[in-house]
Structure 1
Amino acid sequence: MNIKGILRSTAAKIIAFAGIVGCFAAAVFIGENAIAGCGRDGMIYQFETDFSQSSYMAGQVNNTAVTLEAALEGGISRQEFEQQTRDFPGSYYGVMNGKVISNAELSDSATQNAAFYLIARPDDATQSNISWYYTPFGDEPIDDSFDDEPIDDSFDNEPTDEYNVRSNYPLGTVIRVCVTSEQAAQYQEIWSAQKNTFAHTIYIVLTLTAAALALFVYLLFVTGRRPEDEEMHLVTLDRLPVEGNVLLFWSVLGLAGGLNIALAAEIANGSSEMTFLLMPSVAFLTAAFAFALELTLSLVRIIKNRSFARQCWCVRFVRWCRRGVRESTRKLMHLLTHDYKTRNVLLLFFGYTVVLEFLAVVFGAAGVVFLGTGWFLAAGYFLARRIHGFERIVDALHRMRGGDMESRLTDMPEGVFAAMAEDINSLGDGMQAAVQNEIRAERMKTELITNVSHDLKTPLTSILSYADLLCQMELTPEEANDYAKIIHQKGLRLKNLTSDLFDISKVRSGVEQMNCERLDAATLVRQALAEQEKAIQTSGLALKVTLPEKELPIRADGRKMSRVLENLIGNCVKYSLHGTRVFISLAERDGQAVLEVKNTANYEMDFAPDEITERFVRGDAARSTEGSGLGLAIAKSYTEACGGAFEVTVDGDLFKVRIVFPVCTE
């Protein structure tokens, strides 16, 4: 058996599936076992980088300070305070209005030397080195009786001995809480041990996760495949609707995961009596994960079998609604605009009914039957012939619009339809002759330009070579050197013109081969700007370029689109008003990549936008600047040959080119 057969074998798939489930079970068990081990001493380590940032110790200090404040204000008794702070490892000292609660004599300096401390006074900002704390002595006064006392203005000038001017708390009120390094040593030791445990656990869990992901990727490729063929083989579970698959996935995995997380949280909070549920919980979560994994692989097989839309009720319902609306709209529009027989028959019967009503009143029942029948037969025959002739004319016009100029209308009913048919036949003959003449003229023009361009290349190459040699020599008289340079410059211009003529002739005649591929439009613009950087810097123009940060893919010929951008930027450099700004923007709009180039012209633009893209048409009617009038024609031809749209807009002195390509989604 070859390697592909081994990889697609049932045994290999079972081993991979069991490996993923085993890695998951091992990761969950190791993680929860680590949580259970730390839960016996309490979760002191909470993923801090250093023990000095310990949230656990900060909570101890903060809770003691809050409880001490409540005891000083009389909110709880001293016994309740001692009961709530019996596990506090540090020292505290609080005094208010002569009432002192402490387990040690603490000064500010001694408190501030501790590893964790908090000092709070009502008339000063709280001092602390813990990561978070609740500020004691809030805005509420401890005695509301002062609100009804008359205000003594002398109080503002001189504080009394009993109260501080900045608060309603008595002078000398202070809370000091601290934990020294010696007192926190046992917690630091536990913190370090828990940190090492979690680091080791995370390393193992990440290793197991990487292994499970590798096996999962392998299963994604081989699920549904067999060694003997390339067909997609489904199983019974794959017949389940997509919605049922997703619902089962989240129900089973969500229930098992929720129960497991709740149990882990209880164990982490010190509920050691629930540790016996750890193994059953891991087993239940593993079974749920295995079932969810199989549901995921079933969904992958459905997608690979291209039956996702067929098995998804939501997609089927949306398609059914869309198909019904489209079909109803089509039938209604066809009835109103195309089905002339149906519409006219309805009108005929409506008229027939009106006539019958009229005859019934005038002649009675016998006359209604006789005259009504004759009216219906005559009207039906006349209308049927006219409808048939009208439909033939409409059909002929449709064929002519589609390019069929050779079809002719014969045996038409006498009258207006026969005359219309004769006119349509004459129109077809004239259009066919005109099209043939235009095609012949265009072909001759293209062949002429192509042949002339090709024939000019050889003498031009010789002229340029000899002119270049003359430019390198010291000629006499001195004016000869200038003449040689002029010959070389004009020869280069003629060579570029010949090359442009050759290029546009090829693309207009359909001979040019387009190698369209997936390209990043933003990268194309950046490359074009980099190639024209020197010309832009010497032009005195300011470029404002707006490009998307992410990739904007299109399908086009990279070489041809580079030529398009080169022509557009070159036109901006040559024909923009000195000192103005040129705006180049690229963005995605409604699924299309839109490139816009805008500049202010240095001449009066009195031409139509659709004329400027024709061959040899220049915006500078005086033709006082260099240029052949082929740049925009080549740019438009290349853009349309690659499947894009090229549009020119003129607004006063503002010249704007807009190129649109569909965004490539493959």
Structure 2
Amino acid sequence: MNIKGILRSTAAKFIAFAGIVGCFAAAVIIGENAIAGCGRDGMIYQFETDFSQSSYMAGQVNNTAVTLEAALEGGISRQEFEQQTRDFPGSYYGVMNGTVISNAELNDSATQNAAFYLIARPDDATQSNISWYYMPFDDGPIDEYNVRSTTYPLGTVIRVCVTSEQAAQYQEIWSAQKNTFAHTIYIVLTLTAAALALFVYLLFVTGRRPEDEEVHFATIDRLPVEVNVVLFWSVLGTAAGLNIALMSELLSGSGDLSFLLLPSILFFVAAFAFALELTLLLVRLLKAGSLARRSWCIRAFRWSFNKIGVLCTGTWHGLGRLRLAFTKAILGNYKTRNVVLLFTAYSVVLAFLAAAFAGVGGSFFAFVLGVGWFLAAGYFLIRRIDGFDRIVAALQKMRGGDLSFRLTDMPEGVFAAMAEDLGSLGDGMQAALQNEVRAERMKSELITNVSHDLKTPLTSILSYSDLLSQLELTPEEANDYAKIIHQKSLRLKNLTSDLFDISKVQSGVEQMVCERLDAVTLVRQALAEQEAQNSGLVLKVTLPERELPIWADGRKMSRVLENLIGNCVKYAMKGTRVFVSLDERDGKAVFEVKNTANYEMDFAADEITERFVRGDAARSTEGSGLGLAIAKSYTEACGGMFEVEVDGDQFKVRISFPVYGL
């Protein structure tokens, strides 16, 4: 079975589904155990960044101050006050009408030096370093003249504080709970990421089977969409509500309900699994294009729409075309549909998280954040879908042969890089096509030249051999014919030998026997063997006085220099100067030979080194067209560089080798 078959198999889908439910269950169990564990000591840590901002301690100070005000005003008895504040860890002092209620002698200075404090007076001259929720001396009714009817005697004051020493045990609990929650959050986030990855996988493979591309339904898929939605929110909402209510009771410590924690979690996980299957049901309907048929609301809307369309025929056709265009744009191909599915799933998850954490910072802020993020993600996806469609269109144009097509104004990021790569691909394909055309032309010319060069001497040999066998010739005539046959045979032999040599070296069969050579000695020997001094040319030779060692095959390099200098002797214009030089440049031994041609050079420098290519296309009696090709092949096989330059009638060849021993 291939990879697609494995990914679409029932076992793989079941494992992914179980993995999502398992990750959710683990996250809920770990999270609720952490909350329940902290609830035993009271939820002192409430996601503050520092203990000095503790809402728990602020509430302790504030509640004590309000209770103290009620005791001073006579709203509760002193015994009841002491009962309500028996767990308060700090100090308090209150005085009104000579009545003093306190557990310590406090003045303003001592109170303000505490870690958490509140000082309240009826004249609203309140001092505090905590976030408090209800202010003492601030609840009297206001009359029609905007004057508070309750009056307090002079000297009334409430001082409440908790010192660092008194808050030490709470700070220790706060730190422990913070560490517990931080560790729990990391684990829950990891499990959530794994569940989301598996969920995305299920979005793609749900409803698919290995054997075909059809969308297959399950029995539950016959549910109407509205029933699906109602079941989803009712089951999941009920389970979540019961779970949250139970956790609130456990945190409040009003009763020992911990035995209900496990059943509550199991019910919540089962509800989540059912809701997940309902979500995948909607995805399968969307993939099959059956969502509208299974939705009562959409069918009712269509029915109403059709009835209205009967009354407005012209408008109906226009709206119908608009509807078809929209459907084709959004759900016309599987790539766009998958993007829409991912976007929808992402939006659902975002809405769920916003609803779950609406209490942190306010529901309105969560709603605004969700809407803004939804719009930004929608714009991002539209841009990416457009970029994807343009990439597909560009590929179709290139497949049709338009290799010069270029994409511009692409979205930044991966699509801009893909557009640039497509442009480079088009350039590369154009270059490859040109090289292929050039190679075909060179191949055709090669076959033509080989046939011509082999045919010419063979024709001469056959003709003169026939004359020798048929005519009664004098010895002098017979000798002349035999000499011509011998010359043509030698030319045929040299041509065959050259062709054999270049075929071996270009195929990699030729063995190079490299050794240390003196380039100066090689050039001098080549000049002497070619007798260039007696060819009617003026030689200008520049050679270094010292040895210039290179690493190469001596026999092959002698052949290279022989071919180059031989070309000068044969094809340079008589009476002109031929420049031969050898020197060291940047750690390389550079040999150059330059001459003035006796024919018009109308060829490209990179073509003259191809096999059977002659500088003078009209020349057919001399040379094989292999000399420069052999020279270049031998040079490169020995590790050197071979370059040809053409400038008007000037022909230059440059050979360079690294100086050996540097």
TM-score by length of 2: 0.46
**TM-score, normalization by structure 1:** 0.46
Q: Please identify the structure whose Cα radius of gyration is greater.
A: 2
